[in-house]
Structure 1
Amino acid sequence: MFHFAKPARTVHTTWLHCSASDNPKHDDVSVIDAWHKARGWSGVGYHFFIKKDGTVQTGRPINRIGAHVAGHNTGSIGICLHGLEEDRFTKAQFESLRDLCGQINAAYGLQMRFRGHKEVAAKACPVFDYRKVLALDRKGFITEPFSRRDPVRLEAIPETDGAAKADYPELDVGDRGDAVKRLQELLNAAGAFMGVDLKVDGIFGGQTAEAVVELKQEYDLYPSPVVVAHVWRTLIAAEKAQAA
């Protein structure tokens, strides 16, 4: 099983790619290396390559800046999965991607952003739904721990508790409305913000963001202010525990 080693250089973003080929003869990092050398590069631009069978291969040395996202290579890691058609990526590839990204995320204190090449380029790369595969929030942070080496611990909160999916809307700074009011009420009930009551005004501002981050630190969750389903479940469980 592959083990990620954190590089000495500063890294803040991991970029995801696909190789634009389903040809089995191309399913190896050495092929990508040859392609990139043919372009005049020093070698493969990606740091990691994931084969159809889930094998994680190393490409460019992790301590060297990659060549995979024009204008965004500094401070980044590049991961490429072999494939072109969305329905031909394999379960093994996605399991390896989740494990690798979980290790990377843990190495950077759960503050690594994961983005697709197509977010900054006129490309379809990667063609698979990486946000779903990695359980990313709208900012590109992993919301659910799935690596066996990820130190995050989630409280024993049921995944399904009878609530509708709409009861767990994703929220972030700048959002407004009744869902934000409910969030603020739950944060107050949990005493998450240094024991100071938040104003329940339905506006997701700075104090609400600080309260969310503090709650996440208490439960060892990823430290962005974005609120996703298991954050809601954590707050609801805390509210029920206090009422018991």
Structure 2
Amino acid sequence: MAKQLQSLVIHCTATPEGREVSSGDIRRWHTDPQPAGRGWKQVGYTDMVHLDGRVERLVDNNEDNQVDNWEITNGAAGYNSISRHIVYVGGVEKNNVNKARDTRTDAQKKALEDYVKDFHKRFPNVKIVGHNELAAKACPSFDVQKWLKELKIDEA
């Protein structure tokens, strides 16, 4: 049964700055059996922002304010049935993968801004959050709430 969409969660791939990631990489990391992957039934994100700013759809959805069972992705435990998830490629230092860092390229910043503004226009009552606001993680390696204020996106 569909549930009301309540949040858009922003993530990073936690990959080194400047290293591209493919949708195939994401699928292997998330859905391959353990120990190679996580063994999930579905990937963690609806959309991915590549280094060049291209936004790639990873999981189809019907673009409404409901999360149908077939639209659920595995981005944040406990929030998946009420959220959509977007990820940008990067999020850790090039030479230290244990050090979180906002590695968004200018193209990624612009694409993520356009995506979030469009999403907020269509779903003004849906809360936009970073993964780190839902779990003890550094992801997405930047302060989403501060960024939303800079973009002048009024939260519901």
Matched, 1:123 2:123: no
Q: TM-score, normalised by structure 1?
A: 0.50
Residues 1-244 of structure 1 mapped to structure 2, 5 A cutoff = 10-22=4-16, 26-38=20-32, 39-63=38-62, 64-85=71-92, 86-108=101-123, 110-135=124-149, 143-144=152-153, 222=154, 224=156
Letter aligned with residue 37 of structure 1: T
Q: Which has the higher helix share?
A: 1
Q: CA separation in 2, counterparts of 1:87 and 1:104?
A: 22
User: Percent identity at matched positions?
Assistant: 32
Q: Is the 8 A contact 1:45 1:60 kept in 2?
A: no
Q: CA separation in 1, counterparts of 2:31 and 2:5?
A: 25
For 2:25, what is the secondary structure of its paired residue? Answer: helix
1:24: how far off? Answer: 5.5
Moved over 3 A (4+): 23-26
Instruction: Report the equivalent of 2:98.
Output: none
Higher radius of gyration, 1 or 2: 1
Q: Which runs of 5+ in 1 are unaligned?
A: 1-7, 137-141, 145-221, 225-244
Residues matched between the structures, number: 134
Q: Is the 8 A contact 1:48 1:56 kept in 2?
A: yes
Letter aligned with residue 101 of structure 1: V
Q: CA separation in 1, counterparts of 2:132 and 2:7?
A: 14
Q: Describe the superposition over 1:84-118 as per-residue Cα deviations: whole angstroms up to 9, x where unpaired.
A: 2325321111111111111111112x222111111
Q: Describe the superposition over 1:71-94 as per-residue Cα deviations: whole angstroms up to 9, x where unpaired.
A: 011111101111123253211111
Q: Is the 8 A contact 2:130 2:143 kept in 1?
A: no
Q: Which runs of 5+ in 2 are unaligned?
A: 33-37, 63-70, 93-100
Higher relative CO (Cα under 8 Å, sequence separation at least 6) belongs to 2
Q: TM-score, normalised by structure 2?
A: 0.75
Q: CA separation in 2, counterparts of 1:50 and 1:56?
A: 5
